[in-house]
Amino acid sequence: MATCPAGHDSATDDYCDVCGAPLSSGSGSSPSVPAPAVEETCAACGAVRVGRFCEECGQDSLNPVVAPARPVVAEAVSWHVTVEADRAYFERVVAAGGPDAGAMAFPEFCPPRRFGLAGRQVSIGRRSRSRGIFPGIDLVGPPEDPGVSHHHAVLVASGDGWAVVDLDSTNGTTVNEDDTPLRPHRPHPLEPGDRVHVGAWTTITLHRSAGRPA
């Protein structure tokens, strides 16, 4: 006896004698019913995928999904200088002699100061309202270093760093342990940690720091 797709037993082999549904010829068993298709999603974009290739992004389901590389973000770099009274430098100045060497005294109290560097150049000197001089790194004090000129030097941006230029100051500008004054109006490249000496005791140290991306 044949069985129709609805599960009825039928005495006939062509049509079910209960519901009239057509029967498979030559078979007394129930016809196979295809299993419902399993819905798949694209591993790359998450869209519903039918077949091998995703219609949304074109991803081949047979190929592994490569995670996108994280973008390289440059760190924000900032520069600043610290200014302090440097006894070792002062003693070298006194030892070198000069008309005022014997009259100079190292300051008893001179707290360190910090100046941020921004723009293309930052001037170094002593403020003078009457002459309209307002340096970015103002060394007017107190205590006031008598060896610093009003227009003494300037820090200029150079590539990804800074350089110092002496402005033909009265007492010159030196760098680190070299006591030879810089040639006026010629940039001298600086590295982080370099110490620029001006006046009788003033040392300006360059600092570089990396922070969060801008």
Q: What is the pLDDT of residue 60?
A: 77
The DSSP string of 56-81 is: TT--BTTSPPPPPPPPP-PPEEEEEE
Q: What is the pLDDT of residue 214?
A: 42
Instruction: List phi, psi (to 5°) of 157.
Output: -65, 130
Q: Are 21 and 4 in contact (CB under 8 A)?
A: yes
| 88: three-class secondary structure by DSSP | helix
Cα(81)–Cα(63) distance, integer angstroms: 55
Instruction: List phi, psi (to 5°) of 93.
Output: -65, -45
* CATH code for the domain defined by 76-211: 2.60.200.20
Q: What is the pLDDT of residue 38?
A: 64
What tens digit of pLDDT does each residue of 112-136 get? 999 999 999 999 999 999 999 999 9
Supply the pTM of this predicted model. Answer: 0.64
Q: What is the pLDDT of residue 57?
A: 81
For residue 175, give both structure tokens: 């760098």
Those residues of the chain that have pLDDT short of 50 are 26-28, 213-214
Q: What is the pLDDT of residue 99?
A: 67
Q: Which residue has the tokens 């190292």?
A: 106
Query: 154 pairs with which residues across the strands?
Result: 123, 165
Q: What is the pLDDT of residue 90?
A: 95
